[in-house]
Structure formats: C-alpha cells, structure tokens
Amino acid sequence: MFKRKMLSALLIVVVMSLGFAGAIAAQDAGCVLEPGDDPNSCPPPGFESWDAVLEEARGQTVNWHMWGGSDLINNFVDNFYGPVLEEEFGITLNRVPLADTVDAVNQVLSEAEAGETENGAIDLIWINGENFNTLKQADLLYGPWSRSIPNSVFVDWDNPAVALDFGRPVDGMESPWGGAQLHFIYDSARMSEEDLPRSYAELTTWIENNPGRFTYIAPGPGAFQGTRFVKQALFEISGGQEQWVGPFNQELYDMWAPALWDLLNSWEPNLWREGETYPANRNELNELFANGEIDFTVTQSPAGATPDINAGLLPETARAFTFNDNMIGDRHYLAIPFNSPNKAAALVLANLVLRPELQAAKANPDNWGDGLAIDVTRITDPDERAAVEAALEDLGVGAAPAEDLANSLVSDIVAEYQALIEADWEANVLQN
C-alpha cells in the first residue's frame, strides 16, 4: 500500500513536471483507487481499510447539512438513502436543511476559530464553487478521500467537468453527487419550437421583436444561474469558451467585458420592466414565466421542465431547449469538514450516493431529475448499466433532447470571473 502511494505520488510529480496535468492535478489527490482494485487497498486518511470504515461507521449518525429548499430533493435523500444506510450499514441519517450552504461554511469557520477540532456539528456538506473553495483554502476539509472510496471507480476523474469545480481542482477533497447544466424552458402552448432562439445573437433579435417578454436572473451571490447566463453570453461574443479555460486572465476579461455590457444594455429597453429590476433567483423567474409575464425561464436539470411540471411549479406545456453552444454544465459535490466526529459514516454515505442504481433513481424526474455524477461507460455490471441508461432515456416530456445538451456543453471557468462578473454587471448594467 505504501508503495502504491509512493508510486502515485511519483507519477503525479512526473506528470506535473511534463506540464501535462496543468490545473487538474495541482495537489496530491490522495490514494487513487482504479477499477478492479481491492477496495481495501486504498483507504481514506485515518483508516486502515475500507472494511475498517464500515465497521466504525456502524452505529454512527451522519449529520448531513444541505440546502433544504426543494422537498423533491429532501424526500429523495430521506427515502432513498435513509433506509439503506439504516438497514445495510447501521447508520442513522440526520439531514439538516439549510437556507443557504454558506451557513454551513460559517459554522465550520466558527468551530475552527473556537478550537473545536474533534466534535464539529457537521459531518457532510452538499457543496460546490466558492463555498468549497473557502473551506479548502482554509484547510478545513478532511481528505483527500474522494478517489479512495470504492464507488469512485464509476466517476470519470479525467473529465475536467468532474475534476475541476468552478475551474479549481477538487484534489480529492470532495466527491461528486450529481450534475447540472444551465439551459432554457419555453411554453409550447405559447410558441413553437421553430421560433426559439438558438444563440445569444438570435436571442437579441427575439427580445427586440418581443418587448417586455424576456428577463434573466440578476447575477449575484446565491443566484449563480444568472451569473452563468451572463457568462455564456461572454463566451459567445468572445468567440468561444476554450480561451477562458485555465487560470484567471484579467487582460482577456478586460478585452471582452465592455462588449458584454454593451450587449446586455442594448436589451434593456425591451426587457421585462425595461430592465429596471431583475428577478433575484430562479423561483422568481419561474413564477414570472408560469404566470405568463415572460416567455423563458431557465433550468439546471437534465430532465428540463419535467420535475417542475410534476411539482406544480410550471404549466404542463413547459418544455426545455438549449442554444447551439456554450451551455455551462458542472457537478455538485459532497465534502467532509476536518472536525466531523462521524467521518466513517460520512464516507459510507458519500460512497453510497455513487451506487449506480441510486444514481439512476436520482435521474428519474419523479424523484429528482438530477444529472449523473458517474460515467455510464464505467459501470461493469450489465443490469446496473441498463438501469442507468433506461433512467437517462425516461426524462419526461419536459426534457431537452440529450444530444442538444451534450453538443452545447461547456465547463465552467475559475471562480474569480464569477465575483468580477457579478460586481461589474451591477455597476455597468443594473445601475446604468
């Protein structure tokens, strides 16, 4: 085992010196379990083997702090993970609903400040982006572990969309739970598919022809869909997303940002309420759309409008569609704070959510309609693979075509742009 660790460390050094891995392998991601390896050969830090994790986890309670604003998601967690944890692993699940993930981050920061290093309140956080970065930079996460758990072999860690969280390396400090991709929803009772805009250029024309019928979520903290929507426009007017990948580039930003603000400002006279105000979050945008005030809303779910139709949030005629390019997609993750008293149980849960049958259940729009964290082609068991593939095909009438989503997919870029775009949008568009 020691040899393997040495070897993987050596390998990473070699790879890095070749400048090949670049941003991805900025740090040691810990012991990496490969398909076919004995799960016990690569235990997470602090444990002798995976069996030792299972043994210690028995009888523990895992306090999972997660955004609690969707009862679809809450029910999924309670009904699909709770019983399995209890019966199969002897673990009690305590889901703690949060209004905002940053509350959990602040809790960990407070505990660290108070010197609470062993008995933190939180065992597992549903996290990504800035929140993850804050805890990782402050060295307040347990790990690296996410490439050591048995089901990590189903995860395609070579995919930058998985290995990078908002453009920053995950480094084994969080493990994916699911995926999302920003795209749009229209009402098929109000407009036909042929009339849909398929790019920001076409959207600009559409807005001119349909004054007052479009708006987007104000970019800002807690409204990442709005920031993404603007970021995608930046990709299009600058000629593509590729040049934005990699470390933060102020020059590049300064070159293209003025054109972005010009474009968004040119929309304003024809936006909903003439752009005087913008919806603060997706719920507000959804409500305007559902009540017929505007003609488009956004979704993050591969099942498009289906979960919202089922929940009664959108009309039954709502359908999802994508532009031809630049639709940002990413993963969301689970992380374990450094002072979690039930790390073993947290590891078991993080491993459980990657189980193919549970990933398939999560993709079902009746349960949640979330994207996969795992790669279908890595599932070796034919029955499990069939179950996941079937789930992906049965996303309901509200879903956008899977090939449209795949063809337009781009990854998100480093978080520096996020804060910059949010501040500059406010200065140049909202207050203009």
Partner 1 sequence: MATTQNLERTTSMQDAPVITEAKSPLAGVLRYAAIGLILLFLLLPLLTFLINAFAFRWFYPQFFPKELSLQAWDNIFAPNFKVGEALWNSTLIAVVVTWVSIIIGIPAARALGMYKFRYKRVVEFFILAPIIVPGISISLGLNINFIRWGLSGTIPGVMLVHLIPVMPYVVLTLSGVFANYNADFEDQARTLGAGPIATFRYVTFPAIFPGIMVASLFAFLVSWSQYILTFLIGGGQVITMPVLLFSTVPGGRNPNIAALSLVFIGPAILILILTSRFLSGKSAIGGFGQI
Query: Which one of the spans 142-150, 284-292, 345-353, 382-390 is the region binding partner 1 (CB under 8 A)?
Result: 284-292
Nearer to partner 1, 116 or 393 (CB): 116
Taking phi over 0 as left and psi of -120 to 50 as alpha, with beta for the rest, 96 belongs to beta
3-state secondary structure of 201: helix
| Residue keyed to tokens 């807690």 | 222
In contact, 268 and 274? CB cutoff 8 Å = yes
**Shortest spacing between CB 301 and partner 1, in angstroms:** 14
Its sign, for the CA torsion 56, 59, 60, 62, is positive
User: What are the DSSP calls for 117-182, one per residue?
Assistant: -S--S-SEEEE-HHHHHHHHHTT-B--S-TTTSGGGGGS-TTSHHHHEETTEE-TTSSEEEEEEE-
> Is residue 177 part of the contact set for partner 1 (CB under 8 A)?
no
**Shortest spacing between CB 275 and partner 1, in angstroms:** 22
Query: Which one of the spans 21-29, 70-78, 173-181, 364-372 is the region binding partner 1 (CB under 8 A)?
Result: 70-78
**Shortest spacing between CB 212 and partner 1, in angstroms:** 15
Name the β-bridge partners of 319: 186
| Residue keyed to tokens 């993970």 | 81
**Shortest spacing between CB 191 and partner 1, in angstroms:** 17
- Which tokens belong to 337? 């704070």
Q: Which residues in 234-253 contact partner 1 (CB under 8 A)?
A: none
Give, for 263, the enclosing helix (H) or strand (E). Answer: helix 250-267
Q: How many CB atoms lie within 10 A of CB 43?
A: 21
Query: Which one of the spans 159-167, 282-290, 295-303, 409-417 is the region binding partner 1 (CB under 8 A)?
Result: 282-290
**Shortest spacing between CB 83 and partner 1, in angstroms:** 11
Q: How many residues bind partner 1 (CB under 8 A)?
A: 45
Q: Which residues in 89-148 contact partner 1 (CB under 8 A)?
A: 94-100, 103-104, 107, 110-111, 113-116, 121-122
Q: Given candidates 9, 292, 406, 432, which one binds partner 1 under the rule CB under 8 A?
A: 292
In contact, 139 and 113? CB cutoff 8 Å = no
**Shortest spacing between CB 349 and partner 1, in angstroms:** 16
**Shortest spacing between CB 391 and partner 1, in angstroms:** 23
In contact, 214 and 271? CB cutoff 8 Å = yes
3-state secondary structure of 223: strand
Nearer to partner 1, 67 or 296 (CB): 67
> Is residue 186 part of the contact set for partner 1 (CB under 8 A)?
no
Name the β-bridge partners of 178: 332
Q: Which residues in 310-349 contact partner 1 (CB under 8 A)?
A: 311-313, 315-316
Q: Given candidates 147, 168, 231, 282, which one binds partner 1 under the rule CB under 8 A?
A: 282
Nearer to partner 1, 97 or 212 (CB): 97
Calculate the alpha carbon distances from 279 to 139, 232, 315, 323 in Å. 35, 18, 19, 21
Nearer to partner 1, 94 or 249 (CB): 94
Q: Given candidates 57, 173, 207, 290, which one binds partner 1 under the rule CB under 8 A?
A: 290
In contact, 275 and 269? CB cutoff 8 Å = yes
Nearer to partner 1, 36 or 115 (CB): 115
Query: Which one of the spans 47-55, 60-68, 151-159, 414-422 is the region binding partner 1 (CB under 8 A)?
Result: 60-68
Burial class (CB in 10 A: 0-12, 13-18, 19+), 244: buried
CA 154/CA 357 separation, integer angstroms? 12
Q: Given candidates 60, 128, 148, 286, which one binds partner 1 under the rule CB under 8 A?
A: 286
Which residues touch 215 (CB under 8 Å, ≥6 apart)? 271, 272, 273, 275, 278, 279, 285, 288, 294
**Shortest spacing between CB 290 and partner 1, in angstroms:** 5
Q: Given candidates 28, 37, 287, 384, which one binds partner 1 under the rule CB under 8 A?
A: 287
Q: Given candidates 28, 41, 68, 188, which one binds partner 1 under the rule CB under 8 A?
A: 68
Residue 267 corresponds to which amino acid? W
- Which tokens belong to 333? 């993750």
Nearer to partner 1, 171 or 308 (CB): 308
Chain residues binding partner 1 by CB under 8 A are 63, 65, 67-71, 74-75, 78-79, 82, 94-100, 103-104, 107, 110-111, 113-116, 121-122, 281-284, 286-287, 290-293, 311-313, 315-316
